[in-house]
Amino acid sequence: MKRKLQTIYEYFSDYSEEQINDMLSYLSLEEKLIIQSRFGNNLHNPIPQDDWGEKNSKKYYGSIVPKMKKLLLKNSVAINTNEKNKQDGKLLGQLSELRTNDLSSRLLQLVEMQKTNREICECLGISINELYDELLKIKNKGIFYSKKYYSDGSIKYKYFSRMRELKRVYYDQSRTIITDPEENEIKILLISDLHFGNILERIDLIDRAYNYCIKNDIHIILCGGDLIDGSFSKGSQKISDLYQQIDYFIKNYPHDDSILTFGVAGDHDLSALGKFSINMMEICNNFRHDIVIGGYNNTEIKLKNDKIHLYHHVDGGKISKTKAPIILHGHSHKYAIDIIDNCLNIMIPTLSNICSQIPSALELDLYMFKGYIANSVVKHLYFGEQDFLLSEASFNLLNKRNVKYKSIDNLEPYKQMKKLK
């Protein structure tokens, strides 16, 4: 017959329940989640959870139990409870509330374990939209997290612990894509001026663009802005209400677990902010983690030691000073390339019917050398019944740059780690 598991109160029977509860409040979030894995949600009726295993057992008996004994022996909990609650009371209350929700608590644990968004969904048996909903609930309880984006299209989440992390997320208009140390060829799809809500939108072409990415092992899309048609339009609108426009975009912009879209917000996107204070950046941040809007007018995408600048005209705005070797321009709705001051300037064509040319997209193939973009190939694409390559051009971007080589940034050997799992 299987022996009944002792409660934590029976294990520490020399102390009162109040003392034990106070002691538990001093543990870290990871430690609390391991305790929950061991005992379940009801400490008076312990039931080990499915994720209780050798790894958690080693941490529990090897470090957490000795720590709990020390806290109880020193009686520090009873003495300092009021002061501790002043500092951490809000967070502890939130975590206590979250512990009653098994899905949320297991999600928090998986985030602590640095699982990717795909791995979290697989572990919890939920869809990607359900993951976004759960993370939004956690955010609404005051627990903030940043996102790490990877070149294979995956995302990892990390809790804020320092002021600079808040500043980076809320004030820094750049976004970083983590690459593998062995990854020196990166393929990117460029699209722009989608104008969701306009009668001349082409969602069918955007779907084909996604299929092109899947077929050609492309995991990153860069968008030059004007995701929605906004409050003013070239042509007729089939959706004029801005709230409905954005909801329509969130629901109908394609999704694939292996593709991330990074973009700059344009003048049509900005019109929603100016007219009704609707912030496209924050809406995507809450409901579509795979769509990353770095800023209005300008944003930069960091790759290793280099960067790509995205620009879209807005009234009163201008292009920011940049050392990026490539500047991508939205707004013009037509394709053009120019070299200005040794910088490759690419006008991204529109993927809508609001154009004088045909609606199209670009593939940008990057070849890195010692952390910097050395060469690029730009392919002009049309997505008809078949995918057509309209033109192709190559550019050397390193010869005339004054580059000082150093250790390479924004790397993680995540592809090798996957092979080891």
Residues 46 and 3: their CA atoms lie apart, in Å, by: 12
Report strand pairing: 343-347 vs 372-383: unpaired
pLDDT in tens, 135-194: 998 888 888 888 999 999 999 998 876 666 666 666 667 899 999 999 999 999 999 999
Q: From the centroid of its chain, how far is CA 387?
A: 29
Percent of the chain with pLDDT over 90: 60
Q: How many CB atoms within 10 Å of residue 119?
A: 15
Question: Partners of 148 in the beta sheet?
Answer: 156
Mean pLDDT of 68-90: 57
83 — pLDDT class (breaks 50, 70, 90): very low
At 103 the three-state DSSP class reads: helix
Which pLDDT belongs to residue 168? 62
Residue 87 vs residue 326, higher pLDDT: 326
pLDDT of residue 421 exceeding 60: no
Long-range contacts of range 396-400, CB-CB < 8 Å, 24 or more positions apart? Answer: 397/325, 397/326, 397/342, 397/344, 397/373, 398/325, 398/369, 398/372, 398/373, 398/374, 400/342
Across the chain, mean pLDDT equals: 88
pLDDT of residue 295 exceeding 50: yes
Which pLDDT belongs to residue 268? 96
Residues 205 and 197: their CA atoms lie apart, in Å, by: 15
106 — pLDDT class (breaks 50, 70, 90): confident
Q: For the chain, how far is it from start to end, CA to CA, in angstroms?
A: 36
Report strand pairing: 372-383 vs 185-191: unpaired
Q: pTM for the whole thing?
A: 0.77
Q: Are 362 and 347 in contact (CB under 8 A)?
A: no
CA torsion sign, 348 to 256 to 210 to 202? negative
| Secondary structure percentages of the chain, helix, strand, coil, to 5 | 40, 25, 40
β-sheet with 185-191: strand ranges across: 291-296, 260-265, 220-223, 185-191, 361-369, 372-383, 387-396
Which pLDDT belongs to residue 33? 84
pLDDT of residue 121 exceeding 90: yes
Which pLDDT belongs to residue 265? 97
CA distances (Å), origin 399, targets 339, 356, 402, 404: 14, 36, 8, 12
The count of residues in the chain is: 421
Question: Partners of 336 in the beta sheet?
Answer: 347
Closest listed residue to residue 312, CA positions, set 265, 349, 244, 347: 265
CATH of region 174-420:
3.60.21.10
Helix (H) or strand (E) holding 396: strand 387-396
Residue 421 vs residue 230, higher pLDDT: 230
pLDDT in tens, 340-390: 988 999 999 999 999 888 999 999 999 999 999 999 999 999 998 889 999
Residue 339 vs residue 74, higher pLDDT: 339
Q: Are 345 and 355 in contact (CB under 8 A)?
A: no
Which pLDDT belongs to residue 72? 84
From-to residues of CATH 3.60.21.10 in the chain: 174-420
Q: Are 230 and 269 in contact (CB under 8 A)?
A: yes
Q: Are 373 and 398 in contact (CB under 8 A)?
A: yes
Residue 265 vs residue 13, higher pLDDT: 265
Annotate 379-394 with DSSP letters as a single string: EEEEESSSEEEEEEEE
Instruction: Tell me which of 25-34, 216-225, 362-371 is least confident.
Output: 25-34
Instruction: Tell me which of 61-65, 85-89, 272-276, 301-305 is least confident.
Output: 85-89
pLDDT in tens, 92-105: 455 445 444 578 88
Written as six digits, the tokens of 341 are 């001051």
Closest listed residue to residue 39, CA positions, set 66, 15, 68, 9: 9
197 — pLDDT class (breaks 50, 70, 90): very high
Written as six digits, the tokens of 402 are 């004054």
Mean pLDDT of 330-344: 95
Q: Are 315 and 268 in contact (CB under 8 A)?
A: no
230: left (phi > 0), else alpha (psi -120 to 50), else beta?
left
319 — pLDDT class (breaks 50, 70, 90): very high
CA distances (Å), origin 58, targets 32, 66, 198: 15, 12, 58
Exposed/middle/buried for residue 286 (C-beta within 10 Å: 0-12, 13-18, 19+): middle
